[in-house]
């Protein structure tokens, strides 16, 4: 096949019949509904980051509200860039939706306590510049992230998020009076059942709206149950946006900058696994250039976030799961989702409506999405050769270490803070374990000698091409 210098150019000049599904422009009504579905799936996870950080940094309610609007604005802009792209420089051009990453929360809290908010956003800007410079070298190292590594990481991402869904459904305090109330569990279970039935028996476009229908029907049922509270909507402004550098001129303490640059590398790892998964699901495998453009947008999110009082963004795994479940591959659906996020950022009242959806409703839909991410990871691992290799051990150790901070959040509490930051992240732990063990078992000199003797390399470390083939 011929080589296309740029996916967007080849797509725009191709006839509609030859256009790849990723580049298909759906009817406006479908685009709107499918884009809204993506926003509803990721919204709670996106706004939870500023809520958690604001509370930990002891910020007042008004300031936290400002952070939420900034968070949505950055997420919307980053999603638009990823979906639409800018020339040969920015954007993976796949149906991915970006949002604030939890990986940065702990370092941001520590930096705020030690150096102040100006250092938080100064170090974020510096990490963003670092990310822009590191995107291409990181993309060229992707051969060390074969299905063995990416499949293990994606599996852990999905498994670690299931606990978030459980917390939304049952609550996070087992000693609370209403914890795991039967009505909440029944509501979430009904939403899961509805999503299953819609996907099994509905046809055509309706089958792609299972999650959206579950959220709408679940919210309607939650009203007479007394689970909805839209009182905050009345107090929200119709229009508002924080001014850039709200906390003052940025500061750049060396320790803070190094910490956030490490977070950027972890974010790259997370986004790489998710973008590779979406590339496989959509039938458009990534080239190194595609991946580098996508990672560059992650880096740009640090610059945007630092200036606009937002957060570092990564590709959201729950939306990866939504792509896998609905089979809708158009990147313009993600672009619409990005546009909706920008509108929500500019109109806080609309954002409050979405934020007021009941926890059991979001949790029921999220449970399906997060488990779908796990399934994508398992599907990716099917490509790995396990017989006669050490790959089964690599997967076992990666998943085991990754799940430790999920099932025991205080597991590393006695260690220095830098160990807590690395070990306390399920994604980071799993990535480091899978990456290093893959090097040891499948890329060491002794392993290469065995391969020459004719044994199966096992890890299937296929390198990405520099450019994607024409579609």
CA distance linking residue 417 with residue 56, whole number of Å: 16
Question: Is 90 exceeded by the pLDDT of residue 132?
Answer: yes
The H or E element that residue 50 is part of is: helix 28-56
Q: Where are the domains of the chain?
A: 7-449
Q: Are 341 and 35 in contact (CB under 8 A)?
A: no
Question: How do residues 354-391 score in pLDDT, each as one tens digit?
Answer: 666 777 887 887 788 778 778 878 888 888 988 888 89
CA distance linking residue 232 with residue 230, whole number of Å: 5
Q: Where does the pLDDT of residue 299 fall: very low under 50, low under 70, confident under 90, or very high at 90 and above?
A: very high
* Residue that is written with structure tokens 């974010």 in the block: 267
Task: Classify burial at 404, counting beta carbons within 10 Å of its beta carbon; exposed 0-12, middle 13-18, buried 19 or more.
Answer: middle
Task: Classify burial at 248, counting beta carbons within 10 Å of its beta carbon; exposed 0-12, middle 13-18, buried 19 or more.
Answer: exposed
CA proximity to 231, closest of 90, 347, 352, 84: 352
Residue by residue, DSSP assigns 424-462 as T-HHHHHHHHHHHHHHHHHSSHHHHHHHHTT----S--P
Question: How do residues 244-294 score in pLDDT, each as one tens digit?
Answer: 888 889 999 887 888 788 778 878 877 887 888 888 888 888 888 989 999
């Amino acid at each position: 096949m011929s080589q296309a210098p740029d996916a967007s150019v080849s797509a725009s000049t191709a006839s509609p019949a030859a256009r790849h599904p990723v580049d298909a422009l759906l009817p406006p009504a479908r685009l709107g509904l499918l884009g809204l579905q993506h926003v509803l799936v990721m919204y709670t996870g996106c706004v939870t980051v500023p809520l958690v950080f604001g509370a930990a940094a002891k910020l007042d309610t008004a300031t936290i509200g400002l952070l939420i609007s900034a968070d949505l604005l950055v997420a919307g802009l980053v999603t638009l860039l990823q979906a639409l792209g800018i020339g040969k420089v920015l954007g993976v051009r796949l149906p991915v939706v970006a949002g604030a990453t939890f990986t940065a929360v702990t370092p941001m809290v520590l930096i705020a306590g030690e150096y102040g908010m100006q250092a938080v956003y100064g170090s974020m800007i510096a990490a963003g510049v670092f990310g822009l410079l590191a995107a291409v070298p990181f993309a060229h190292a992707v051969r060390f992230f074969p299905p063995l590594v990416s499949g293990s990481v994606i599996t852990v991402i999905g498994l670690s998020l299931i606990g978030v869904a459980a917390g939304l459904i049952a609550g996070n305090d087992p000693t609370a009076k209403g914890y795991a109330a039967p009505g909440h569990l029944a509501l979430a279970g009904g939403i899961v059942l509805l999503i299953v039935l819609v996907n099994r028996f509905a046809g055509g476009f309706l089958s792609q709206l299972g999650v959206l229908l579950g959220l709408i029907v679940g919210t309607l049922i939650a009203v007479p149950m007394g689970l909805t509270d839209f009182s905050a909507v009345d107090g929200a402004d119709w229009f508002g946006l924080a001014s850039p550098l709200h906390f003052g001129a940025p500061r750049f303490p060396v320790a803070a900058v190094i910490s956030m640059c490490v977070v950027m590398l972890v974010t790259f790892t997370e986004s790489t696994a998710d973008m590779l998964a979406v590339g496989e699901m959509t039938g458009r495998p990534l080239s190194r250039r595609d991946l580098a453009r996508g990672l560059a947008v992650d880096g740009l999110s640090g610059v945007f976030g630092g200036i606009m009082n937002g957060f570092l963004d990564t590709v959201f795994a729950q939306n990866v799961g939504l792509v896998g479940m609905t089979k809708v591959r158009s990147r313009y659906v993600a672009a619409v989702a990005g546009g909706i996020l920008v509108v929500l950022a500019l109109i806080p009242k609309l954002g409050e409506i979405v934020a007021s959806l009941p926890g059991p409703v979001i949790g029921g839909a999220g449970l399906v999405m997060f488990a779908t991410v796990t399934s994508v990871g398992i599907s990716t691992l099917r490509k790995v050769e396990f017989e006669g290799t050490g790959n089964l051990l690599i997967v076992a150790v990666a998943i085991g270490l990754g799940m430790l901070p999920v099932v025991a959040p205080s597991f590393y509490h006695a260690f220095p803070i830098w160990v807590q930051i690395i070990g306390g992240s399920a994604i980071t732990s799993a990535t480091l374990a899978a990456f290093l063990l893959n090097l040891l078992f499948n890329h060491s000199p002794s392993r290469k000698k065995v391969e020459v003797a004719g044994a199966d390399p096992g890890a299937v470390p296929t390198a990405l091409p520099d450019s994607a083939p024409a579609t």
